[in-house]
Amino acid sequence: MTTSIEETHVPLQGSERTALPGARFLAPADPNQRIEISVVVRPRQKPHPEQLAQPPQRRKQLTREEFEATYGSDPADLELVETFAHEYGLTVVETSRARRTVVLGGTVAAFSQAFGLQLAHYAQEGRTYRGRTGPVLIPKELAGVVEAVLGLDDRAQARTHFRRRQGFEPHTSPGTFTPVDVARLYNFPGLDGSGECIGIIELGGGYRTSDLRTYFRALGRPMPRITAVSVDGAHNLSTGNPDGPDGEVMLDLEVTGAVAPKARLAVYFAPNTDRGFLDALTTAIHDPVRRPSAISISWGAPEEAWTRQAMTAFDDALASAALLGVTVCCSSGDSGSSDGMTDSQPHVDFPASSPHALACGGTRLAASGTAITREEAWNETATGGGATGGGVSNVFALPDWQRGANVPSSGRGVPDVAGDADPQTGYQVRVDGLDTVIGGTSAVSPLWAGLMALINQKLKAEGLSAVGFVQPLLYSAPIQTAAFHDVTLGDNGAYRAGPGWDPCTGWGTPDGTKLLELLTSTEGRA
């Protein structure tokens, strides 16, 4: 008697997919096409929230070897996945205990049979993607072992969070800044990032070394050491379009390279899919060669665009970063409190909404000389521009360390911090041979990642651990009151800026030197 898949398999919790809005079915996927996917398995144990919330000077910073032994995957779980793969004619391409990931390869037909689904091609807004509907089914013996199956559906998962200022010459436009200017206005410490590595996640585009040389020469800064790391077959590929992902890549490199000129920059290029995004993040976190102490992510999407399995896997990865002393800075989005959704309700962007990410919002900055004269929440929607993302998560609960911040609901509040983001007061950069001005919260995450690298340089010189999971410290006295320029003007749609923390700019923009002083003082580490 033939056994049906319903008898041997169960739905993987949180794996349900629907077609994209307006998507049109084209044809079934070619059954002979070979693809690769990532299977994420459970950790041997999860860290306790209290452990993550401790100041880094009290928390034992794990080595990567210690992390793998304690929080990596159980070899028995990996063996179960490998046995399942061979049963269905799939090949094991790679396994990683630290990343808790098994990469499987095989034909569309084999994956369809293994996971009880049908893959098809869809068209939506001029793009095509391979997709599925409904849940992924996994064998009953893998229930509770497998947390996510990513890569069967290859729709574009995230978007960039930068906006280019149009119609102005950057070096004659009043009110725009170089990254060095912004760092000076925010009183960044007089350090250069020596000994640190900053990881940068990119889901498309690329950089031209000739443009970077020209840019940093004009800026009077040394050319940073940059390494491109290929993830899931993606690589540094400049498109020649400054309004495309090249703008994101160059902005990230030029901001981090300007504020932390002696830090090494590692750019992890991955496909723009949920699988590619997660694999890039876990590869950066667990990179045994470059070992970044700060990671910048300027890509994201509304929480509603993600499967719960993917969000859980991301949040676990970000918690792993916290254990390893890595600060992950994420842009909060450029579409105000709606985050680009059209249901007239507030939404927040992920992965910024993870409690284990440092969520970075945006401001409009005005200055005279070396002094800030006015700063308000970035909102140019009235003139067709963008606005800082921010609000309250519909997925993640309010963290304990955020309970005293007057978050207007019971979810995780976004953002934590902010920085200059309005394109009208944006950053002078060079992209694909063009000198231009770019803003957006995409500029804020590399700015904060650069600041974290400077702080880590000083902490390590004093024999202290990297700052790592900095969020609980930012919400503690005296840092929350003494290390920020409180932004009390403006709004992002549903929310208004005000004294203290708010869902537009978090605690505000940094006084980098004061933040460093407090983090290295007994009082700041209490």
DSSP assignment, residue 305? Answer: G
502 in catalytic set: no
- Which residues, 6+ apart, have CB-to-CB distance to 300 below 8 Å? 158, 159, 161, 330, 331, 332, 333, 349, 350, 351, 352
Which of 436, 200, 165 has its CA nearest to residue 330?
200
CB-side neighbour CA atoms (13 Å) of 452: 31
Given phi > 0 = left and psi -120 to 50 = alpha, else beta, which region is 475?
A: alpha
Pick the catalytic residue: 154, 196, 246, 248?
248
125 in catalytic set: no
Q: Tally Cβ neighbours within 10 Å of residue 461.
A: 12
Q: Give CA–CA dist 352/328, Å, rounded.
A: 9
DSSP assignment, residue 482? Answer: H
Pick the catalytic residue: 442, 476, 491, 502?
442
- Which residues, 6+ apart, have CB-to-CB distance to 315 below 8 Å? 351, 354, 355, 356, 396
337 in catalytic set: no
User: Hey, which residues does 174 pair with through a beta bridge?
Assistant: none
φ, ψ at 25 (rounded to 5°): -65, 130
What six digits make up the tokens of 197? 């590595």
Coil, strand, or helix at residue 103? strand
What six digits make up the tokens of 43? 């950790």
φ, ψ at 412 (rounded to 5°): -65, 130
Q: Tally Cβ neighbours within 10 Å of residue 34.
A: 12
Pick the catalytic residue: 68, 147, 232, 252?
252
Which of 140, 203, 197 has its CA nearest to residue 449?
197
Catalytic residues: 248, 252, 442
